[in-house]
Amino acid sequence: MTAKLRLGMVGGGQGAFIGGVHRIAARIDGEWDLVAGALSSNPERARASAAELGIAEDRAYSDFNEMARAEAAREDGIDAVAIVTPNHMHAAPAIAFLNAGINVICDKPLAATTEDAEAVAAAVKASGRHFILTHNYTGYPLTRQAREMIAAGDIGAVRVVQVEYAQDWLTEEVHNKQADWRTDPAKSGGGGAVGDIGTHAYNLACFVTGLKANALAADLTAFVEGRRLDDNVNVMLRFEGGAKGMLWASQVAVGNENALRLRVYGSKGGLEWDQETPNVLRFTPFGEPPRLLTRGGAGGTADGQANLRTPGGHPEGYLEAFATIYANAAAIIRDGSRAGAPLPGIEDGLSGMRFIAACIESSGNDSAWTRL
Amino acid sequence: MTAKLRLGMVGGGQGAFIGGVHRIAARIDGEWDLVAGALSSNPERARASAAELGIAEDRAYSDFNEMARAEAAREDGIDAVAIVTPNHMHAAPAIAFLNAGINVICDKPLAATTEDAEAVAAAVKASGRHFILTHNYTGYPLTRQAREMIAAGDIGAVRVVQVEYAQDWLTEEVHNKQADWRTDPAKSGGGGAVGDIGTHAYNLACFVTGLKANALAADLTAFVEGRRLDDNVNVMLRFEGGAKGMLWASQVAVGNENALRLRVYGSKGGLEWDQETPNVLRFTPFGEPPRLLTRGGAGGTADGQANLRTPGGHPEGYLEAFATIYANAAAIIRDGSRAGAPLPGIEDGLSGMRFIAACIESSGNDSAWTRL
Amino acid sequence: MTAKLRLGMVGGGQGAFIGGVHRIAARIDGEWDLVAGALSSNPERARASAAELGIAEDRAYSDFNEMARAEAAREDGIDAVAIVTPNHMHAAPAIAFLNAGINVICDKPLAATTEDAEAVAAAVKASGRHFILTHNYTGYPLTRQAREMIAAGDIGAVRVVQVEYAQDWLTEEVHNKQADWRTDPAKSGGGGAVGDIGTHAYNLACFVTGLKANALAADLTAFVEGRRLDDNVNVMLRFEGGAKGMLWASQVAVGNENALRLRVYGSKGGLEWDQETPNVLRFTPFGEPPRLLTRGGAGGTADGQANLRTPGGHPEGYLEAFATIYANAAAIIRDGSRAGAPLPGIEDGLSGMRFIAACIESSGNDSAWTRL
Amino acid sequence: MTAKLRLGMVGGGQGAFIGGVHRIAARIDGEWDLVAGALSSNPERARASAAELGIAEDRAYSDFNEMARAEAAREDGIDAVAIVTPNHMHAAPAIAFLNAGINVICDKPLAATTEDAEAVAAAVKASGRHFILTHNYTGYPLTRQAREMIAAGDIGAVRVVQVEYAQDWLTEEVHNKQADWRTDPAKSGGGGAVGDIGTHAYNLACFVTGLKANALAADLTAFVEGRRLDDNVNVMLRFEGGAKGMLWASQVAVGNENALRLRVYGSKGGLEWDQETPNVLRFTPFGEPPRLLTRGGAGGTADGQANLRTPGGHPEGYLEAFATIYANAAAIIRDGSRAGAPLPGIEDGLSGMRFIAACIESSGNDSAWTRL
């Protein structure tokens, strides 16, 4: 075993949610050590958060620009930085680290504005560094398997895509750290649920089908009185090649926790997958009995078998899928090649930004079909 | 027990599908005797079909007009006629029997054209007879229970409606009696899947929520080469009061048999029901654990408990739900009152026709929002 | 269509449960007319019950012996009698009708005592009449399909049988017509849950596997204070050929409605079926993905396809399975042959009685292995 | 954050299974660093395995006795050792480390023989060190929640316990590192499936119900020709207080991956949990609709909420449950107290050994009831 890679983190201080998830994901496969962080812009909280995480004092920054400079200058500087701030704070640190020659692992969506997103893309291009966007649901063995099966023609030509992501935690007016920035246009961008979870659904549909969407018609709604961003997202999609889709994302769908679900139907078969029971993929060849493909079970594809930690029947979940993103990131940073690791990157980030923008535009234009 | 009611049937001869279903439904609760029929317009097949069903020779007609006249003239004439022909053959017999003073139980959709539908509606009004449209999924105890729960405010104000009806039997080009008329505009009307199953989905959503839809945006597709009518239906809906909905109907969704599924979310809770496992209704009060309400189980409402033939755990299904339509029809014909029986009728038929027409219009108009 | 067969009924008057189920089952396929009955031993209730069911006054008996004599003497006498009384009242009417040359359809278990059971068996043999025991769960298309698949070697040699039947309606002390006789040794026989539902589970296991059990070890319990018969049944089974089994039947398993479930594992595959979702059979060939075989779906066997009333996805349930018993009974009465209809009969009845007796004996003998 | 604890490992070298699982579990919550190991008794493989895991050369041992001595002597010696060898190699290292004053985390079952098990117990007692047995299924939030609910009386007095653990990986004769020692009496002990997975099922039933079993009647079978240890285990149980149970463990149940399932029914309610879908616990209060309690959802108990890494709907699985054992172990080692952490220990290990021995004895004695 070569030595562990060194990871830095921007955001994710005390009280944050997704930062902790990134840290567990980075630990699971033993490929990363968290050694530096600008965990908060508040110096005191940054220091305290770093101390809790065992980060040395001299690598506990409160300014990400300083961190990028300092880490780039160290011999034992970080191999990559994880950016886990609210949306509007993705672009600046991403650009700073890329410009400093440091690989970036960034939470989604890519940014709060199109301008920011394009600036990141430019920095990725200019730097030649790796940029990985944590569309973590693509890390599940069975979403990858579904992708390979479709690419191999197992369901024929894709015709129908049904994707949905339903939650209920914003059913009522709620105020906490997570809710506040997600419902604040200044921090989240112009999209609410559409950016927070709609982009995951859209990304997963494109990832699995291998298709690009050409156009969409959207109807966004904010059901909770006083809410400034959408909490329910109805979208019709048209894909290249003629496939048609529907996408529903909601944070007011009472009784749903984190119900990301994808169904794809082609001329020869269908595939269905549900994030809350992620260890089974329903495969329905036309005219034959439905088959239940399990994580680690019979009928697995190369990618479906590639990142298993336990045999079938030992449920792996959200954190393991997320960990696979980190394990794959480590592999490509070590190898310098992305071959074999279907990791979401800057193109997916830009695509997600176009999706958000198109949804907002279409919804504001009486759901007119809008190009992507 | 008063004597059984006398039922006649138009359509449903040898080789038909839905006629047989109506006959079983009429038998289950012992309220009806099938005594007359114009089972086919082919005299020979009409006679043979009638003989198989134990219908006396003198009441085996090949012309529904003659049947309406003759039955109206008999002292022991039929109490109601079931019309189970293809769509384009609903209106003429319906009008003939209504004009002869005979109650009508008619398969859905109401007709193949708006003109025909309005003519039926006029005949209903003029005749004062009962007209029942067999949107049979409203006969399930738990769809009725869901309707009562929403009316009682159990989920608060309805916000989000997700309804879908997925099948796969038209995945490839197929030719048989059932497929042929359903894919023939001359017999089915301008809608394919949208009329055949989309209307069921739409009706169920309105029935359960108690809401009317104001407008829709639709994207209809015929995926199978050479098919003249839609086989996949994507629709966004806007309901009175601000609720938003999505409706998906497909006959090319490989791996789905008869997957009618409704999910409704309100400000205080949610309800989910699936026709293929119809004996459970998932109820999710906000902030509480989801509850599984079963047919005949604890927590039943009046209508949910009203037409049970067996205790909970003894699965009742499609035929029992259909039978409840017939049992309720018998009750209102005996009583002369519809009170207490939430049976779909002429208004639902007209609503379904508007739905089909609006879908076709919107889809032809680049999915523009279209009034209902 | 030949004329309907004529059915009589003993038991099943006002307030009864299973009698109504038999009547619906007899109606569904249109093969039977209920024309005579000794619905109660109370003459007034017998008359009133008969009137409610449209039975002519002169065929409303209060004495089953008289009914057997009178019906045997009529030209239009009944073709079969359904016996739907409590267990201790099965044998006498069964023998009376058999001796009168009338076919018998009898509810299970066969009788309350071994002596009664043997007397019925003797009468069956002497009379040459058909005797059908309504182990109705064998009427489901997918239990029959499972049976055919095992017979065809689809799962190899049977090794492991897990069968259970869980209910909760006797969780507390309860008094009503159904509970009273089932918990009264004088009416139910020496077995409580073991006779009422354990026999169904045992019958289904033997029916599907095609195996006979050689011996059992049982531990019966009455959990509710003051209850005189078992309400929970734990059994280990040894089958001919070396297969091992477990059988659990309980009427105090809170949260279970009518959960009859069978799982069979062989050297090459497995089969799993659950009565509450009866339209799917899980088939697991070793080393391959599990397959979901549906009622009416791909992969059906001859018996699995033989008694379908609707296509796949239109759930058929308990009443349809029961109706298949009646439809098959009609067929064998018309044909005089049982070929092709896997109907439970007198041998199954005797086998069930031996099962009950062996459970009671074993349980009283510290669960010693007891021959069947 | 205090510094990480230092972990050593005995066993778990190249080609092993459970060692890798322990290492991931130890990493997930960031409480442990693996710093020493006797990963194999083969010196070369021990060195190579250690190098792969980043263990310093001077702490890569091939003899666990040497490791115990050396680590006890270091100032930075390990805080605990994980023993992940085959069953017959648990006792010797456990005793060596305990005697050296080092805490032990040991895989289950406790040992291959009763004598070995008692020797470990004596060493635990003499040393005063912590001894944790990785019955990892007790680390699931919802098994802990079930335990608390039963202790709180939520289902009343326990009456019926149904527990099962079904796999199929030994359906045929198979030879690999995992299968070989598990089917070899010299390494596994006298039990096959009964020790490997039966002990998990038994432990879980006792853990959740809080009950001790008094006696059992067992029927063990080896279905695969030539197999020397049982691969299918049928057991009836009697618990203190009168509850009755059934336990089934099988490694030839084709189509089952790792199906550990527990159902408990009491006088007032029931609880059902399935390891393959571990994020939901079905709770059925008598006379009320079943409720689905989710990991992190409404209705959680203290222990049910205590070790969550993500919100509800983000499936956590086998590795997270295992990690909780390690996180809790760290906590009690830091605190010196077990309060609040329901960790399985030496008593559970002895109980499991008695279970194995009683199963073997009973099965050899024609399933006679045998004391535990």
> Tokens 């044909």 identify what position?
C335
Per-residue confidence (pLDDT) for residue B188, from 0 to 100: 83
Share of chain B above pLDDT 90, in %: 91
Q: Residue C118 above 80 pLDDT? A: yes
Across chain C, mean pLDDT equals 95
Structure token pair of residue B66: 């003659």
Q: C64, C92 in Cβ contact below 8 A?
A: yes
pLDDT in tens, A305-323: 999 999 999 999 999 999 9
Q: Which of B28, B258, B277 sits opposite C27 (nearest CB)?
A: B28
Per-residue confidence (pLDDT) for residue A185, from 0 to 100: 87
Q: What is the pTM of this model?
A: 0.97
ipTM score assigned to the predicted complex? 0.95
In sequence order, which ranges of B128-213 are alpha helices (DSSP H)?
Answer: 141-151, 177-182, 185-188, 193, 199-209
Q: Which of D160, D238, D369 sits opposite C250 (nearest CB)?
A: D160
pLDDT in tens, D290-336: 999 999 999 999 999 999 999 999 999 999 999 999 999 999 999 87
Give all strands of the β-sheet with A32-38 in edge-to-edge order: A32-38, A5-10, A80-83, A103-106, A131-133
Three-state DSSP at C49 gives helix
Q: Which of A1, A4, A54 sits opposite D52 (nearest CB)?
A: A1
Structure token pair of residue D190: 């006298």
Per-residue confidence (pLDDT) for residue B181, from 0 to 100: 83
> Tokens 């504001």 identify what position?
A364
Structure token pair of residue D59: 């702490």
Share of chain D above pLDDT 90, in %: 91
- In terms of residues, how long is chain A? 372
The DSSP-derived string for D73-115 is HSTT--SEEEE-S-GGGSHHHHHHHHHTT-EEEEPSSS-SSHH
Q: In angstroms, rounded to a whole number, what is the distance separating the alpha carbons of residues D288 and A3? A: 57
B304 Cβ neighbours under 8 A, 6+ residues apart:
B141, B142, B144, B145, B148, B293, B295
Backbone angles phi, psi at B11, to 5 degrees: 90, -175
Cβ neighbours of D268 in C, within 8 Å: 254
Q: Is the preceding omega at residue B109 within 30 degrees of 0, hence cis? A: yes
Q: B348, B57 in Cβ contact below 8 A?
A: no
> What pLDDT band is residue A176 in, cutting at 50, 70 and 90?
confident
A318 touches chain B (CB under 8 A): no
> Tokens 């809770």 identify what position?
B269
**Residue B105 forms beta bridges with which residues?**
B82, B132
Q: Residue C41 above 80 pLDDT? A: yes
C-alpha distance from D269 to closest chain B C-alpha (Å): 14
A15 touches chain C (CB under 8 A): no
From residue D205, alpha-carbon distances to B70, C152, C311, D133, D137 in Å are: 72, 38, 43, 16, 11
Q: Which residue type does A368 have?
A: A
Per-residue confidence (pLDDT) for residue A201, from 0 to 100: 98
Q: Residue A70 above 90 pLDDT? A: yes
Q: Taking the C-alpha atoms of B86, B89, B91 and B95 in order, what is their torsion angle to the nearest 10 degrees?
A: -120
D319 touches chain A (CB under 8 A): yes
Q: A329, A340 in Cβ contact below 8 A?
A: no
Cβ neighbours of B294 in D, within 8 Å: 289-290
Q: In angstroms, rounded to a whole number, what is the distance separating the alpha carbons of residues B338 and B130? A: 9
Three-state DSSP at D281 gives strand
Q: Hey, do C5-129 and C140-309+346-364 end up sharing a CATH topology, with the first three levels equal?
A: no
Q: How many CB pairs under 8 A join A and D?
A: 118
Hey, which bits of chain D come out as E strands? 5-10, 32-38, 80-83, 103-106, 131-133, 158-166, 213-221, 232-239, 244-250, 259-266, 269-274, 280-285, 291-294, 370-371
Cβ neighbours of C234 in D, within 8 Å: 236, 244-246
B313 touches chain C (CB under 8 A): yes
Mean pLDDT of A173-188: 84
> What pLDDT band is residue C93 in, cutting at 50, 70 and 90?
very high
Q: Which CATH number fits domain C140-309+346-364: 3.40.50.410, 3.20.20.80, 3.40.50.1010, 3.30.360.10?
A: 3.30.360.10
Position with higher pLDDT, B182 vs B68: B68
D246·C246 Cβ contact <8 A: yes
Mean pLDDT of A257-285: 98
The DSSP-derived string for A57-76 is GGGB-S-HHHHHHHHHHSTT
Q: B100, B71 in Cβ contact below 8 A?
A: yes
The DSSP-derived string for B290-341 is -EEEETTSTT--TGGGTT-SS-TTS---HHHHHHHHHHHHHHHHHHS--TT-
- Which residues between 125 and 144 in chain D have a beta carbon less than 8 angstroms from any beta carbon of chain A? none
D290 touches chain C (CB under 8 A): yes
Cβ neighbours of A283 in C, within 8 Å: 289
Position with higher pLDDT, D232 vs C335: D232
Q: Which residue type does B114 have?
A: T
D253·C244 Cβ contact <8 A: no
Phi/psi region, residue A235 (left: phi>0; alpha: psi -120 to 50; beta: rest), is: beta
Q: In angstroms, rounded to a whole number, what is the distance separating the alpha carbons of residues D270 and B347? A: 46
Q: Residue D187 above 90 pLDDT? A: no
Phi/psi region, residue D287 (left: phi>0; alpha: psi -120 to 50; beta: rest), is: left
pLDDT in tens, B264-297: 999 999 999 999 999 999 999 999 999 999 999 9
Fold classification of A140-306+345-364 (topology level): Dihydrodipicolinate Reductase; domain 2 (3.30.360)
Report CA A85 to chain centroid distance, whole Å: 13
C-alpha distance from A293 to closest chain C C-alpha (Å): 6
**In 3-state terms, chain D is what percent helix, strand and coil (to 5)?**
40, 25, 40
Q: Residue A338 above 70 pLDDT? A: no
Search chain C and give the residue with CA nearest D272: C255
Cβ burial of D240 (10 Å; 0-12, 13-18, 19+) is exposed
Specify the DSSP element, H or E, that contains A284.
strand A280-285
D81 Cβ neighbours under 8 A, 6+ residues apart:
D7, D8, D9, D10, D67, D68, D71, D93, D97, D102, D103, D104, D105
D277·A315 Cβ contact <8 A: yes
Q: Which of A187, A108, A138 lies closest to A349, judged by CA?
A: A108
Q: Residue D350 above 90 pLDDT? A: yes
> What pLDDT band is residue A339 in, cutting at 50, 70 and 90?
low
Domains of chain B, by residue range, sit at: 5-129, 139-310+345-364
Q: A46, A64 in Cβ contact below 8 A?
A: no
Q: Which of D279, D236, D262 lies closest to D271, judged by CA?
A: D262
pLDDT in tens, A142-171: 999 999 999 999 999 999 999 999 999 999
pLDDT in tens, C143-166: 999 999 999 999 999 999 999 999
Q: A95, A119 in Cβ contact below 8 A?
A: yes
> What pLDDT band is residue C340 in, cutting at 50, 70 and 90?
low
B4, B5, B7, B27, best to mutate vs chain C, most C CBs in 10 Å: B27
C302 touches chain D (CB under 8 A): no
Mean pLDDT of A35-46: 94
D169, D178, D291, D314, best to mutate vs chain A, most A CBs in 10 Å: D314
Share of chain A above pLDDT 90, in %: 91
Cβ neighbours of A172 in B, within 8 Å: 267, 286
Please give the DSSP secondary-structure letter assigned to residue B60.
Answer: B
What interhelical angle do C114-127 and C91-99 show, nearest 10? 10
Give all strands of the β-sheet with B5-10 in edge-to-edge order: B32-38, B5-10, B80-83, B103-106, B131-133
A290 touches chain B (CB under 8 A): yes
Q: Residue C343 above 60 pLDDT? A: yes
Q: Residue A179 above 80 pLDDT? A: yes
pLDDT in tens, D119-170: 999 999 999 999 999 999 999 999 999 999 999 999 999 999 999 999 999 9
A250 touches chain B (CB under 8 A): yes
Structure token pair of residue C179: 């509970």
Structure token pair of residue D128: 């005063």
Q: Residue D232 above 80 pLDDT? A: yes
Specify the DSSP element, H or E, that contains A229.
none
Q: D214, D238 in Cβ contact below 8 A?
A: yes
Per-residue confidence (pLDDT) for residue D340, from 0 to 100: 65
Q: Residue D1 above 60 pLDDT? A: no
Q: Residue A340 above 70 pLDDT? A: no
C-alpha distance from D46 to closest chain B C-alpha (Å): 50
Q: C116, C54 in Cβ contact below 8 A?
A: no
Q: Is the preceding omega at residue D344 within 30 degrees of 0, hence cis? A: no
Q: Which of B24, B304, B38 lies closest to B146, judged by CA?
A: B304
Per-residue confidence (pLDDT) for residue B339, from 0 to 100: 63
Q: For the range D49-57, what are the long-range contacts, defined as Cβ-Cβ under 8 Å and sequence gap of 24 or more?
A: D49/D12, D49/D13, D49/D14, D51/A1, D52/A1, D52/D14, D53/A1, D53/A30, D53/D23, D54/A1, D54/A3, D54/A4, D54/A30
Cβ neighbours of D288 in B, within 8 Å: 298-299
Per-residue confidence (pLDDT) for residue C188, from 0 to 100: 83
Position with higher pLDDT, B339 vs D343: D343
Per-residue confidence (pLDDT) for residue D2, from 0 to 100: 63
Hey, which bits of chain B come out as E strands? 5-10, 32-38, 80-83, 103-106, 131-133, 158-166, 213-221, 232-239, 244-250, 259-266, 269-274, 280-285, 291-294, 370-371
Angle at C151 (CA atoms; ends C150, C156), nearest 5 degrees = 50
pLDDT in tens, B2-29: 689 999 999 999 888 899 999 999 999 9
Mean pLDDT of D47-60: 95
Per-residue confidence (pLDDT) for residue A208, from 0 to 100: 98
Q: D156, D269 in Cβ contact below 8 A?
A: yes
Q: How, if at all, do strands B80-83 and B5-10 pair?
A: parallel
pLDDT in tens, D102-112: 999 999 999 99
Angle at D5 (CA atoms; ends D4, D7), nearest 5 degrees = 125
Exposure of D158 in the CB half-sphere (CA atoms within 13 A): 28
C317 touches chain B (CB under 8 A): yes
Backbone angles phi, psi at B196, to 5 degrees: -70, -45
D168 touches chain A (CB under 8 A): no
Cβ neighbours of B290 in D, within 8 Å: 291-292, 294
Per-residue confidence (pLDDT) for residue D264, from 0 to 100: 98
Per-residue confidence (pLDDT) for residue D49, from 0 to 100: 94
Please state which CATH number belongs to domain B139-310+345-364.
Answer: 3.30.360.10
Q: Residue D218 above 80 pLDDT? A: yes
Q: In angstroms, rounded to a whole number, what is the distance separating the alpha carbons of residues A26 and D7? A: 19
Exposure of A236 in the CB half-sphere (CA atoms within 13 A): 28
Q: Which of C9, D319, C23, D258 lies closest to A317, judged by CA?
A: D319
Please state which CATH number belongs to domain C5-129.
Answer: 3.40.50.720
Exposure of D153 in the CB half-sphere (CA atoms within 13 A): 0
Q: In angstroms, rounded to a whole number, what is the distance separating the alpha carbons of residues A84 and B22? A: 60
Domain spanning D140-307+345-364: CATH superfamily: Dihydrodipicolinate Reductase; domain 2 (3.30.360.10)
